[in-house]
Amino acid sequence: MRILYIDPVAGCSGDMTISALIDAGCPFELLQDMLKQLPVELPSLAPEKKTKGALEGTYLKMGESALHLSIRQMQELIGGLKEEERVRRDALGILDILVNAEAKVHGVEPDKVHFHELAHVDTLIDMLCVAKAISYFEIERVLCGPIPQGRGFIKTSHGILPNPPPVTVEILQGMKLVFYEQDLELTTPTGAAILKYYARQPGHRIPFGLEKGGVGFGTYETERPNVVRVFIGDAGGGPDEEVWAIETDMDDMAVEYMGAAADRIRAAGALDVLYFPVHMKKGRLGLRLFVVAAEATLEQVVETLLKETSTFGLRLRKEARRVLKRKEVVCNTSLGTVRVKEGYDAHGALLKRHIEFEDVRKIGDEKGMPYRQVLELLEKEL
């Protein structure tokens, strides 16, 4: 199992995390090639080597930019990238955490949220580059230590706010924090969202063989080293992960609404959503809804489930999940370009391949061919 341990020595931000991952060996050119796909003008980016005392690492210098993006624009730009499905999913997952936290703080629905500082293009760059680097290292589990916070007050577009600001506090609910007597925003909302999405703190003492490490410097000059450190290695064994299983039984949920509700639960971050008929008391026919969610998205999945279904309560339990190591490859065929999902065991042996149905459907629609025929032709060719 591939492990990434994030050590937020003096807090965490998106650019510090990227810097640390570049320092650990992620090629900067790989990140640049991805960002070049975006049809917007981006600020210049340049990784620089930096030393402070006995620490050597990387600082990602970002140029000036006045570009601000709406949430919808960020979602469309991420969704339009020709990258592995994991990269797009992870970047959108981080964005969802930011959106839901802002919604909770301001007391509005997520689709009514408008970013202020977070609308700057560097938020998009942070989310995409971290997702791409973690995919590059084929990380299967991310761990982190307590997350530093400053004290005092900070200046924002909403005025003077206590430090850490409300959105960061909302994001880090349930995570272990440590406070320092520094009047600085040590952990930014984007840094917090990255840790919330990826990292697991409970039971984080997993022994693993260290292969490489990296140090990412932040902008602030502080007495304590303003760095994020990363450690990458292998713990052996299968890629087990902890997930939440959520269940409920309903005998008053209209079946025609269940499909639409399931779509919204998936959009909230659920890993799996299943529903099937069950016989309830007094012989009534009902529905059992079974949902699997990661720790990072549990609250928004539960909230959506309670809003969208007729249930008054849920059963929740932690379970272990083992999945194959996945990789998405793009293949050129006589019918067109298709994405193929590959599954590998713990030893790196290829066990199965799956052609993405959306690509099969696109080819079938463009060429007027039955989907089954397209799939059979592609399977023979690949």
Rounded mean pLDDT of 308-313? 96
Residue 239's pLDDT band (cuts 50, 70, 90): low
Q: Are 287 and 278 in contact (CB under 8 A)?
A: yes
Q: Residue 76 in contact with residue 94, Cβ under 8 Å? A: no
Q: What is the mean pLDDT of residues 163-185?
A: 91
Q: For residues 3 and 202, which has the higher predicted lDDT (pLDDT)?
A: 3
Q: Which domains, from first to last, does the chain contain? A: 2-234 (no CATH), 240-322 (3.30.70.1380), 325-381 (no CATH)
Which phi and psi (to 5°) does residue 316 adopt? -125, 140
What pLDDT is attached to residue 203? Answer: 47
CA distance 60 to 219: 9
Over residues 316-325, the pLDDT tens digits come to: 999 888 888 8
Helix (H) or strand (E) holding 245: strand 240-250
| Mean of per-residue pLDDT scores for the chain | 91
Q: Which is nearest to 340 in space by CA: 323, 358, 363, 322?
A: 358
Tokens of residue 180, six digits: 């320092």
Average pLDDT, integer, range 131-149: 93
Q: What is this structure's pTM?
A: 0.69
- Tell me the pLDDT band of 339, cut-offs 50, 70 and 90: very high
Task: Render 39-69 in DSSP notation, one character per residue.
Answer: SSPPPPEEEEEEEETTEEEEEEEE-----B-
Burial class, 112, CB count within 10 angstroms (exposed 0-12 / middle 13-18 / buried 19+): exposed
